[in-house]
Amino acid sequence: MTVKNNDAVITRTDTTKQLPLVTEIGQLNEDTCSIHWYGGGLFSVCFEKGKVYFFFTPQCIYRYKTKLENDRLIFLWEYTVDCVFDRGLEKDYGLKKPAVGAPFGEFALLNDTTIQVKYYYSGWVKKVNDQAKYVDTLFPTILKTKRK
């Protein structure tokens, strides 16, 4: 059963190879999407150097720029879109929305299988999540990967 905006975790095991162990957030800034993280209504999230990909569905991908600062990976509200339908991210919903190029949120590694996400525009993110139809949460606060 899916409850809207509960940050429920979807996990999957990759049976073809052992995933690399992630012990520090900087490793995500070097990866080439060999590890996918799951949570909420997202299909998955993966990282490359200077980028994070939000796979809302296999047909809807948003890529955000990232920068590494100490033990956090900051992502910016400067994105490219490859999506066949509108996710509502262009709307302000009457709330303060991030400006282009502004920090939007940060990823912090809790352990080798869990990432916590903090959004700097939490009211706007909540509204986007509330407006999302047919999915749980577009912007979850917990992402997990499952190791075999």
Is the residue at 96 inside a domain?
yes
The tally of domains found in the chain comes to 1
**Measured CA angle at 73 (ends 71, 79), to 5 deg:** 170
Is the residue at 11 inside a domain?
no
Q: Which two tokens stand for residue 22?
A: 């992630």
Is the residue at 91 inside a domain?
yes
Instruction: Give the integer Cα–Cα distance in Å for 88 and 82.
Output: 14
Q: Is the pLDDT at 97 greater than 80, yes or no?
A: no
Domain that holds residue 30: 25-144
- Per-residue pLDDT reduced to its tens digit, 33-81: 888 888 776 678 889 999 999 887 778 888 899 999 888 899 998 777 7
Is the residue at 85 inside a domain?
yes
Q: What's the predicted TM-score (pTM) here?
A: 0.76
